Copies of this chain bind each other. A is one copy, B any other.
């Protein structure tokens, strides 16, 4: 297969981890006789520094004419702590999601036997936990109008959802549930929010088309609790943008390291694959960042184009590296491998 992949390594540890994914993808291309063409473009703080624009036109164009985007990370502390900054790195990521129509963000959470003791949760609570979060990605309060009053005395964010936005998400999530344990949990705050009530109503209706899937509802506050008390109860979680952001970062503790969690953003003509961790500025350039989340995102990229065998090869290699403790310091505290060494090892297994 021929694939054109735009590489947006971004900020912080983005470049160093993405480098490892490219290595692994190249090894896959060699072994399975595919042709993957990679092209770099700038985004985020790096792009602001250069062009005062977190998503330059050229970058967006490249993404649009590529089959997929491999994304690193975005964000820089100098913007986080400056509430007055007019341009911020995150705008680049949000705009990219919107422009590419990537309305669904899929975040699988699993556990590795070897890592059970890394998790802050007790082993018996997490052993066998296996869930996937379907987070809506281009709507809600992230994309509603934002404003500050003229006198600077008040600020507003608007959260809107349409039936159509909910329906297309719901179909994806129900279909995924059919391929899994056939359970779907909608996380919302329908006892307070009008948008949540629209979610509940719309998802209930769609459920009629998926009679084999058991649907239930959880308020987001309760869900945040249940995720820790009993994560095994979940199969597919469907939720809106902001709740999905919170719940999926929270769920990352289950696996023992956020450095393992991959994601796929789909819905448009192309798709984007990125680790769920951020730019981790403190680690930048130190060679300590875990490249596995990015590499597993590359595996999701392969799955997306039907190359599931290839994706499995990567996942098996990762499982092996974890079993052998060929891991960065977040996992292997005593004798950590560097970011690059982990990448080399995985490349060698392919």
Contact = CB atoms under 8 A, between A and B. Distances in A.
A159 B157 contact: yes
A157 B194 contact: yes
Interface residues of A, number: 67
B146 A201 contact: no
Contacts of A144: 156
Contact of A198 (B154, B158, B198, B228): B154
Contact of A120 (B122, B198, B221): B122
A156 B224 CA distance: 23
A283 interface: no
Number of identical protomers: 2
Contacts of A310: none
A160 B145 CA distance: 12
B159 A197 contact: no
Nearest to A230: B120
Contacts of A164: 153
Contacts of A217: 80-81
Contacts of A161: 154-155
**Those 8 A-B pairs whose CB atoms lie nearest each other, nearest first:** A221-B249, A224-B250, A146-B194, A155-B198, A83-B197, A154-B162, A83-B201, A155-B194
